Structure 1
């Protein structure tokens, strides 16, 4: 279907849908807040800030879904990832602490220092560059807004897919009020939340809020080893947070607000589980396996994330226009030692004859301090031409560390470290946007934004390797690293300059400096410590049963050391990149009637470019360029009278042109040109702008207030995605006998990951007066059709030798079957007291929300298991 044909067909559908609506539609006052709406006449109005000003949702030319705090709580949405049950087209996953947001199949999984999110998270309209810990802000809310489609003009940085805006409850002048609530849930979970609003005179108010939760996501440790069986599974959380807000309005022109918050996450972390072994051993698809039955071993998972920030906003009404200054500072300090595992359990697996004494693991560290400033002038709403002019500045100082340790290898120890103590990002932008009333019914709007960004990073990246010779120069002795008590230095290393290290002693010193606390049974320091301190250039040979490979013995005649020693340390990583781009939007709105609007628009968005890891002698490009999205959209927003109450019906169609798309590709990092033809001796994943896609679809929304106090909300989305350009190396078929080379595979025709063709959210609710109180209940049902978890779309694998194997047989099924989730809620309110019961994922669907696919890897990151509980709340 061509773009023009699609637009024309859908435009006809829109016109017919609007023409069929009753002409006696009623509109609610645009200034009403949700809490001010009456319940019987259905005149509740949803206020959003999609266009950087408060306005009735029905007056926005675009698709925005907003859920207020009461609705979220009644829906059983108690944490950020559960939003996707109520918002079609939204996918949220947590990969090892990284919150990844996709909207309509567009987003980014690259949330390290190498890249940025593709859907921009915001707190009170202020951009958040690192969404680790975003869920800690999910309390004492006013509402959450999901703005679908690129928002490059008004929201700017990395709003390629759209925005997710968490809006916290604001202080209220002249009002002493608040609430306190406590809850208990299954799997021994419990929590509490509360807030108090204090007036200080007539012009100043302060609001304090707090939150605590102890939660279990439902993973199970099925290990049978004496120590391993005592390990706590992944997904245990103990989190707390607090927020203090201040609002000062000395007159009707000046408004000053300040919000400060602090939060801390602790627990066993968010790693996934590798299902590769279970699939290859049984031939079963993931939906036939218990993905939460994990075989843990080695180290206890541990996660700690400390966040704090402050936001300020000054607004002054000059009469015909308003000036606004905003500023934000945010700090993230994240550390995680993965809950290490040997994949999941499966039928026929013998867990009693298993090597649980294996401490191979992954460690992550992120520190980020970011500043965001914006100055904006905007015309007031009573003018024919309503405009915004502004400037934006962003700066981030970031430091990141990653280390993978490989324990119990029988030869040639090799681990990996990528640690960057100095990563800087800076961005500034200027923008203008406006809406002009041509007539009382016809409006045009447009905007332009120029952005310039620069990034730099410095650090180390590559392998730790120890090749230690035995008797008669036999290869090689094993090394243990990561056993009980081990912790890497990562960002606290004393030295990151490896460019001048060219001696064996220097390399040994550098490796030892990477260890903060050696493990109880580690051997690395014992083996190379004598090299580092200069007492024996051959090190110290240790022949211990747990590192004895059965055919290498300590040699004689080397002073108690090894017959040969080769040590490999990471390479220097230095990168700089600079980008500039222009985003724009243009469109028109036409009021068919007092409560029906047609609109058409074109808008663009960009996601910032980023870095690739570099290796000595490699030709890997230092950076990749920004991705670009152009979206054509037409839609209709309608209010009408049904059953004597106000109802809503909205319909939207869209077409995406997605270019300069980044795919990860295996690329040679060690080319030996001394051979003819040249031979590659190593490959690494590299980000490249080698893709393009097209997306089209439609969304519909229907909100009805029915007799007997029933209400029905329906949101449906249809999405068709297709890769139109892209050839990459198939990482599933990586051949290490060929230096790590992989066959090339065409992605053209494949669907984008995480993009379901059909997504439906339906909410049915009712309230009934019983005695002196009110009982209410609701059911939120979400249907999502199947989607793929990687760009390979479960295609057959064609290996380098030409043999073919199905993705299932090779261990790489990546299709998530369609599913239905159901959230239930019921409550009774009497006076200021409310008692609620709720259930999330009541049908206990086990859903893969993300996958990492590579050689012998099919790691799944899952949703929360069925959760239910009771909550008591008192308002005052």
Structure 2
């Protein structure tokens, strides 16, 4: 299989080699025999050409002038400039697996939070599972990061600043130049290490000596109102200020009003070209997230009706679900006391200084998140009050890339502190916890590229990571016990972050076996504590080879390792987990044919994922359930991704992407307490032995890892003479079936589905405004993004759905 995958990529390189004379001739006709500098423009959506006027990239990174593909002709595809490798370079010359999505494409797709990126990037699976929490998976690599005790496997960066908590990734999707999705382990170029990949969000920077701005207003179904605006104000020739903001107000998409989107955000960025060799950029941003947050439905109900958990039809199923924690009792109806009151803000400064040995970049940043929300999206009350602070600084020295040796040297430091008060209220089991984790992350990294011959380059990179972690954890765990087997009228435990007075003694410890409720039940509470510290250290590295098969074609091969440190979680049993690592082989080819009218990129990969950190609910020895993180052994992920784009006519562009993913748990075994019977899982269960069941998922396909993901689209411009022009776009995405929950239950399986987005834009001739009509998910496919069984009533499985059909009109104006 491995040879077959890599052979496919090599075939493209051979084809390009056979076409080399024709490509060279086409390049000569275009204006020369040497590769000129790329024409930097705003990046386009994957497989979609950008029709906007080329603009220089808003970055101070040095541009790799010596490795650019020929500039496009008027009938050819536009170039895309990315900074995925810390240099502004043509996407077609970046020897890395990366997909770029332009800011215009994000607007047209209606993207206001990170979970909606799934529609635009085939390899990416993102779901909004609770409050502001997103679960990121890239080619099957990811983790369900619900609290501050574990780190994401996919790094999220905005303008080079790493966001340590995925909760902070929601309110940044406005006034963007582009989003870059890097696939595979990252570390030799970026501040924070990541095992699965990185999402880089690049905002539009101030434009010197230019007074300009724009405004977009959108109205759609679910009474959706969205306003995005920006203004660019110059101060002399060398200074400029850009202020951008967004307001979003959309009603809930579930029948009970949950699943709404209510946010407001603002960002101000100041740029100054202090001298010819010194540029300073300072930025500050703020976002408030309100409303009630994400919703969910019950497996077994018609998903097309989007029946929320507080709908009487769902309530009827919930109140018939037996809770093993209280014998024969059923769950109570949920109380609709959900809310979202979350605030995020941050500042950063970037200084770029030109020196004789390269560009020195210093990037200090500070971010603060204040979370206060209660969500029932998991089928139970999850209340979180958290203050997260992170301070970081990154220093890089990058050569100008003109000589045979190019280099990037850097260092990174981040200090993160979190104070969390959280309550997992599963009715007859409740955990009232306080987390105070502290992380100090240090890293040094380097990337070298050496041109061995005119067309052949060798790349090497290394990183050394030190993560020092401390954890001060306290959790009072309460469980309701029914000695008679039937205790009618037993109430749910209070869903507050403060410990109820009747559950704690004077010294803060639990109260054993006290009467609880009118039906003869008892409440037993106990205190678990952990005060620990540990330092994790690991070198990671990258080796690669790049070869220019033709002026517009290249092949590359890389091997890279990744690392994510271990940590702690709140538990009465074994509250630590180990680091995870990944080894990634990649063979790829990037090509332009037919005078830049056809683009064909192909990548084959094989990843070996060891010690993957999985977060999930697990039974503990007291009869309750805990949210734990543990390592699962080895996962193998391999596949092929093909991206094609063609300018078939001057006004017609086609695009297509196909990803095949062969994913398998090679070794995946974990224990589960036998205190309340066999665990709920679709895997093989054996035991119990020593009061532990063993769950074996070896040989199974991981969750969030579809075998096939396909997308294709068309962009058609229709000239209307003096009246202006119309632009029609259609984009379809198909995904094969996949498990959406950790347990791999049949009820958690999402069958194959497809979604289609349509848009029609009218631009009057000579006018500075546009009118558009759009419809996303035209077929109204209601599909599951994430699912899980209720921890105390496993027959009840809840699922979070992706957005339904959203349609409306959009007005845009610029000056």
When normalised by structure 2's length, the TM-score is 0.84
- 1:254–1:317 contact (8 Å) kept in structure 2: yes
Matched, 1:246 2:216: no
- 1:153–1:604 contact (8 Å) kept in structure 2: no
Counterpart secondary structure, 2:424: strand
- 1:238–1:265 contact (8 Å) kept in structure 2: yes
Counterpart secondary structure, 1:9: helix
- 2:678–2:693 contact (8 Å) kept in structure 1: no
Q: Which residue of 2 aligns with 1:316?
A: 353
Matched, 1:453 2:467: yes
- 2:124–2:137 contact (8 Å) kept in structure 1: yes
Q: Which residue of 2 aligns with 1:32?
A: 40
Q: Which residue of 2 aligns with 1:516?
A: none
Give 1:599's match in structure 2, choosing from 551, 556, 563.
556
Q: How far apart in 2 are the matches of 1:132 and 1:578?
A: 25
CA deviation vs aligned residue, 1:660-716 (integer Å, no higher than 9, x gap): 22345887854xxxxxxxxx8667564332310111111111111121501111121
After the TM superposition, which residues 212-251 of structure 1 pair with which residues of structure 2 at under 5 Å, given as runs? 212-221=247-256, 233-251=257-275
Residue 572 of structure 1, CA deviation: 1.9
- 1:406–1:414 contact (8 Å) kept in structure 2: yes
Aligned residues: 743
CA distance 1:474–1:383, change in 2 (3 Å): closer
- 1:332–1:369 contact (8 Å) kept in structure 2: yes
CA distance 1:305–1:663, change in 2 (3 Å): closer
Q: How far apart in 2 are the matches of 1:370 and 1:206?
A: 26
Higher mean Cα deviation, 21-30 or 758-767? Answer: 21-30
Q: Which residue of 1 aligns with 2:740?
A: 789
CA deviation vs aligned residue, 1:594-650 (integer Å, no higher than 9, x gap): 1111111101111221213232xx4x1x421211111111111111225xx533111
- 2:461–2:541 contact (8 Å) kept in structure 1: yes
Structure with bigger gyration radius: 1
Counterpart secondary structure, 2:187: coil
CA distance 1:426–1:856, change in 2 (3 Å): farther
Give 1:641's match in structure 2, choosing from 590, 594, 618.
594
Give 2:518's match in structure 1, choosing from 548, 560, 564.
548
- 1:315–1:323 contact (8 Å) kept in structure 2: yes
- 1:734–1:741 contact (8 Å) kept in structure 2: no
Q: Which residue of 1 aligns with 2:141?
A: 106
- 2:255–2:306 contact (8 Å) kept in structure 1: no
- 1:777–1:826 contact (8 Å) kept in structure 2: yes
Matched, 1:865 2:801: no
Residue 438 of structure 1, CA deviation: 1.0
Counterpart secondary structure, 1:381: coil
After the TM superposition, which residues 490-505 of structure 1 pair with which residues of structure 2 at under 5 Å, given as runs? none
Matched, 1:418 2:433: yes
Q: Which residue of 1 aligns with 2:98?
A: 64
Q: How far apart in 2 are the matches of 1:786 and 1:451?
A: 37
**Aligned-residue CA RMSD (Å):** 3.3
Matched, 1:576 2:503: no
Residue 250 of structure 1, CA deviation: 2.4
Higher mean Cα deviation, 833-842 or 685-694? Answer: 685-694
Matched, 1:269 2:263: no
Structure 1 spans left out of the alignment, 5+ residues:
222-232, 280-285, 344-359, 408-412, 496-503, 513-527, 532-537, 553-564, 671-679, 795-806, 808-812
CA deviation vs aligned residue, 1:2-28 (integer Å, no higher than 9, x gap): x4x346533542333423545345477
Residue 447 of structure 1, CA deviation: 0.5
- 1:74–1:778 contact (8 Å) kept in structure 2: no
Counterpart secondary structure, 1:250: strand
Q: Which residue of 1 aligns with 2:498?
A: 489
After the TM superposition, which residues 765-804 of structure 1 pair with which residues of structure 2 at under 5 Å, given as runs? 765-770=715-720, 771-794=722-745
- 2:734–2:754 contact (8 Å) kept in structure 1: yes
When normalised by structure 1's length, the TM-score is 0.79
Structure 2 spans left out of the alignment, 5+ residues:
28-34, 43-51, 55-71, 316-333, 680-687
Counterpart secondary structure, 1:752: coil
Q: How far apart in 1 are the matches of 2:692 and 2:76?
A: 60
- 1:209–1:242 contact (8 Å) kept in structure 2: yes
Q: Which residue of 1 aligns with 2:11?
A: 13
Matched, 1:825 2:776: no
Q: Which residue of 2 aligns with 1:525?
A: none
Give 2:383's match in structure 1, choosing from 363, 374, 383.
363
Counterpart secondary structure, 2:243: strand
CA distance 1:132–1:406, change in 2 (3 Å): closer
Matched, 1:846 2:771: no
Counterpart secondary structure, 1:13: helix
Q: How far apart in 1 are the matches of 2:18 and 2:738?
A: 35
Matched, 1:651 2:685: no
Q: How far apart in 2 are the matches of 1:509 and 1:127?
A: 41
Q: How far apart in 1 are the matches of 2:565 and 2:723?
A: 57
- 1:314–1:325 contact (8 Å) kept in structure 2: yes
CA distance 1:120–1:732, change in 2 (3 Å): farther
CA distance 1:167–1:741, change in 2 (3 Å): farther
Counterpart secondary structure, 2:343: strand
- 1:750–1:791 contact (8 Å) kept in structure 2: no
Residue 101 of structure 1, CA deviation: 1.2
Counterpart secondary structure, 1:249: strand
CA distance 1:399–1:122, change in 2 (3 Å): same
